Structure formats: C-alpha cells, structure tokens
Amino acid sequence: MEGGFDGAGAAEVVAELRESFESGRTRSFEWRVAQLKGIARLIVEKEAEITAALDDDLAKPQIESFISEEHKQEPHCFFTLALTNIYLISMVRESCRFALKELKRWMKPEKVATSVTTFPSSAKVVSEPLGVVLIISAWNYPFLLSIDPVIGAIAAGNAVVLKPSEVAPATSSFLARILPDYVDNSCIRVVEGSIPETTALLDQKFDKILYTGNARVGRIVMTAAAKHLTPVVLELGGKCPVLVDSNVDIKVATRRIVAGKWGCNSGQACIAPDYIITTKSFAPKLVDALKITLEKFYGKDPLESADLSRIVNSNHFKRLMNLLDDEKVSGTIVHGGQRNEKRLRIAPTILLDVPSDSLIMKEEVFGPLLPIVTVDELREGFGLINSKGKPLAAYLFTKDRKLEEKFVKTVSTGGMVINDTILQVTNPRLPFGGVGESGMGSYHGKFSFDAFSHKKAVLSRGFGGDVPMRYPPYTAHKQKILRGLITGNIIAVFLALIGWTRH
C-alpha cells in the first residue's frame, strides 16, 4: 500500500503494475476467479471491521451498512427491508457472486455473422483487458463505490490502482491495510491520500479511469485523461427529480420516497431524490403523508434517531446550511429544519413551493433537504426536468400508463424507476451510469466487465476463395462484379461474371 507519495511514487506504482499486466498474469480465468473469491472472502471475514469503518466515517446505522454496503442477509436485515422497502445499491458480495457465475460466459468470444464480401470467413468479437486502470471512488458509499468497480476491472483482467476517498478516512485506511491480504498485490494496489496524491496519479498514463464524484472534479479528471487520450467513465450525479401523481397509493409512495431520500446516507447519495414535482392541488396531501412517514421512521426528534446517518463533515454541513438559510427559501420550510452542528446532524427537512432561482434548486442537494415544486399539470414537470442538467436518475409515481410512457420517452436521464426509488441499481443486468452533466459510461454486472474491456474485432480467412476482381488491374467488368457484391445485386454479379469470363 502506498501513502503520501509524489509523482515519482505514482509513476513507480503504475510501472510495477504495468509490468505485471504485460507478463500476462491478469489475463487467465483462474487469476480473475481467485481475486473475486478473495474479495468475497474479505466481506465475510471482515464484516465487523467494514461496519466499524463506515460508522466512523458516516455514523451509518449498522443495518444500513449491511444493506447498502455488504448485502448481509440476516433476519434483522429483512425486518429493516420490510420497514423501509429499500433494496439499495447493487451489493459488493452480490457483485462478486454474479461475476463469478457469469465470468466464463463474459470472456467467451462472441461469434458474429460475416458478409459476402469476406466469403469464406469467420468473425468474432474478443473481449481483452485494457491494461492498468485507475478507480477513484467517493465517500458516501466508500466501501461499495471502491470495491464494486474493482470487481469489474478484475473480471475483465486488468491491473488496478484504487484511490479511495480521503473524506472517508476510516474506510480508506481499512482498504489499504486489509485488501492486500485477499488479492494479488502485484496487480492490485490501494493508494491513500488527498488532492496531491490524486493529482500525481492523474499525471500518469492509465488505460482507463473510472471516477465517482461531482461534476467539478469530473472535469479535472477528464482534462487530465485527455493528455494521454485515456478513456473515462464518470459517475457524477445531479438533481434527481421525483414526480408524484395524485392517483398513487400515497402511503406506499411516501414510504418509498422517504426510504430513497433519507434512508440513503440522509440523502448523501447520487441517486437519492433531490426534489419533488407534484400538482398544486395534491401537494398539501403529499406533505402531510411525508410528515407522518418521517415520524414513523425516525421519531418525533429525528436528530436523536439511530437510523439516520450524520452529515459527512463540517464543510458539507455548512454547504447544506447555506442552501437552507438562503433568503429566497425563507418561509418555505414546512417540516424539519432542526440542526446540530456539533454532531453534524440535520433533521429531514421538507420545503414547499421553492423558487426556481434559489440555491437549493440550482445545486445538487446531496443531503436531507427535500424541496417540493408545484405545477398545474404533472406533465409540465417533464419540461422542468429537461430544462436542467440531465440527472443520474428520475422517478415517477403514477397509475397512469400513458403518463408513464410519456415520461420514459420524454425525460433524458441516466436511469429511471416507476413507482419506487433507487432500485434500478440493484439489478446487475441494468447499466448504471449518467448522461450529459450526470456522467458518461456505465458499469454494474456485465456492463462493468465491458467498461474495462476492449472489444477487439477478429476476422479469420483461409487461403481459398481468393477472387481476381479484388486486385489490379481494375477493369469495368471487375467494377460491375464488386458493385454487385457490395449492393447485394446477385443478378448483376452473375451477368458481370458471364461477361467477364467471355471477355
């Protein structure tokens, strides 16, 4: 493990990994399986340490750590799942299991059809590892967002540098200390540190970079990658909207909204609901239902609830207070607003009829504040969403099938869920990624394997079937035959061949 190194140290790490990769060590099925099994074993054997690190970094409720970071299916876990109806991020252990189950099929070359112009021939697409890849993870799910992309990079046969977030120091330290005991340290490294270490890494030539975080740093990553023409996957977030129709089962809808918003690190999640759009006539009923659900989940004094995560640090606490204390949202708080700066806690807060030019409607909230915007007709919300940067996720609650179809066709977003929140990431057969301002590229399951693979085209021919019209000198008859082959005009080819042979 490395820590506090400069550019020379970064170059040395990358050079060592590249040497290991070029030796062919990471390419075998057996090596990939061994690393994935090692990670799966780490999760089982170090469960208590993972949970403790997450608690140190985020004051995560233990049960939330099980659900969102480890997917440990204990009986008490099922109780919480039933209570909140959330099945959060595609879990690390499940990612390992899925990759182990599917890896042989993923690695198998894909046969494709050939054309008459290459007859006789065969063709296939071969997935080959890119080389040495860099994964820069985020602090809000520091274990999950570190290890889940590493699983994809390993499955694809790459050497990996993992840079955990320094904002989650306990988890970063845990990964640097423990991961080498479970994976091949000659091919997989953890680099700790902050901006200087990240900058030193970004100065190196990698074969792919996956970054999870905000758009500002995403631009820095992309600029650095451009120097080496390194492709990137950027998972950035954005303002994820929730549209709520008046025809919904309001008890179920509010449970699922509350679970997706405050059950995910108190809103500190890239796919957490950022704001609600509903009709003016339905808004009071929705607010009342949200209040009831919040009290059921977190009690009358949510600042004392053991089921709510704290804000990650004082900088993010102050940022959220700036959003809440903006004079343009004065008088719009209809629930919550309590805060405890010393303990970095903010109560679940609902704001109604927030002005569109307020800070909270311009910036990604990434916290326990939920503004509600009202419209006359719910379809007006489609235009409101599309007028902002494209979000990582969008959610619609409705029983109206036509409205659902219009929502899917009209709203551009990384992913969406109808009548629930955040569940799109629990299906490894769905890609997880953004579009526009919310990112580029995707991963999870097979998409993780593909993200860290090059799809190499391979065309194979024997020495038979060689045709003279392919080669000079080019005559009119040869051109007719080639034109017929390209356009699929078999009659023209036949007639040209007759003329050519007679000639």
Burial class (CB in 10 A: 0-12, 13-18, 19+), 223: exposed
The H or E element containing residue 232 is strand 232-235
Distance CA(115)–CA(307), nearest Å, equals: 60
- Residue 374: which residues within 8 A CB-CB, separation 6 or more? 277, 278, 279, 280, 283, 352, 353
Report whether 53 contacts 175 (CB < 8 A): no
Q: What Å distances lie between residue 453 and 18, 28, 107, 159, 209, CA to CA?
A: 16, 14, 10, 12, 12
Check 96, 264, 270, 364 and give the catalytic one. 270
Check 70, 192, 235, 437 and give the catalytic one. 235
Query: What are the start-end ranges of the E strands in 322-368?
Result: 333-335, 339-340, 345-346, 349-352
> Mapping DSSP to helix (H, G, I), strand (E, B) and coil, where does residue 278 land?
strand
Distance CA(17)–CA(159), nearest Å, equals: 6
Burial class (CB in 10 A: 0-12, 13-18, 19+), 119: exposed
3 beta partners: 192
Strand pairing of 442-443 and 432-433? antiparallel
77 is a catalytic site residue: no
The H or E element containing residue 241 is strand 241-244
- Residue 193: which residues within 8 A CB-CB, separation 6 or more? 3, 4, 5, 163, 166
96 is a catalytic site residue: no
Report whether 2 contacts 173 (CB < 8 A): no
- Residue 284: which residues within 8 A CB-CB, separation 6 or more? none
Distance CA(83)–CA(65), nearest Å, equals: 16
Helices (H), 299-426: 314-324, 359-362, 380-386, 401-410
Distance CA(409)–CA(499), nearest Å, equals: 54
Residue by residue, DSSP assigns 111-129 as EE---GGG-S-EEEEEEEE
Q: What Å distances lie between residue 72 and 66, 78, 314, CA to CA?
A: 5, 10, 31
Distance CA(249)–CA(227), nearest Å, equals: 52
Structure tokens at 261: 């918003």
Q: How far is CA 269 from the centre of its chain?
A: 11
- Residue 48: which residues within 8 A CB-CB, separation 6 or more? none
Catalytic residues: 235, 270
